[in-house]
């Protein structure tokens, strides 16, 4: 039975943006909840998704696959996607695997939200 994603994944809405906290869900099958939460936010009219990695020490292959799923969902609904507070090692991994070609990076959640308004259509990297 599908469980309500919001019960398990912490998220908050700021205007038309939603911040979703990756925490330590990402690296297991349960990380699919993050993808479901992103879908739910997009269906509720959210136009920008910020995935915050402050509680995420390491991203493994399952985590990468789930984030690729989030990228897919965001692109299909024309929403902007920002990853915030990603550590250096993980950024290198995302660059190596091509994720950074599809998302913008922000130093932290505040920066992501402050710079939201400055966003132009094509995503660009900033903050790192």
* Minimum distance from residue 109 beta carbon to another protein (Å): 24
- Residues of the shown chain interacting with another protein in the complex, contacts defined by CB under 8 A: 29, 60-66, 68-69, 71-72, 89, 92-93, 96-99, 101-102
Find the shortest distance in angstroms from Cβ 81 to another protein: 13
Q: Which residue, 1 or 118, is less far from another protein as judged by CB?
A: 1
65/114 with CB nearer another protein? 65
- Tokens matching residue 90: 């993980």
Q: What order of strands is seen across the sheet that includes strand 17-21?
A: 11-14, 17-21, 48-52, 80-84, 104-106
Please report, for the chain, how many H helices and E strands are present, in that order. Answer: 4, 5
């Amino acid at each position: 039975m599908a469980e309500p994603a919001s019960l398990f994944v912490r998220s908050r809405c700021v205007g038309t943006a939603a911040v979703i906290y990756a925490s330590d869900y990402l690296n297991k099958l349960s990380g699919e909840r993050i993808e479901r939460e992103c879908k739910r936010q997009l269906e509720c009219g959210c136009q920008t998704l910020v995935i915050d990695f402050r509680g995420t020490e390491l991203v493994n292959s399952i985590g990468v696959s789930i984030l690729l799923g989030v990228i897919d969902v965001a692109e299909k609904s024309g929403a902007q996607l920002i990853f915030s507070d990603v550590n250096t090692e993980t950024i290198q991994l995302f660059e190596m695997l091509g994720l950074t070609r599809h998302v913008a990076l922000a130093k932290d959640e505040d920066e992501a939200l402050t710079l939201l308004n400055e966003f132009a259509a094509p995503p660009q990297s900033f903050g790192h």
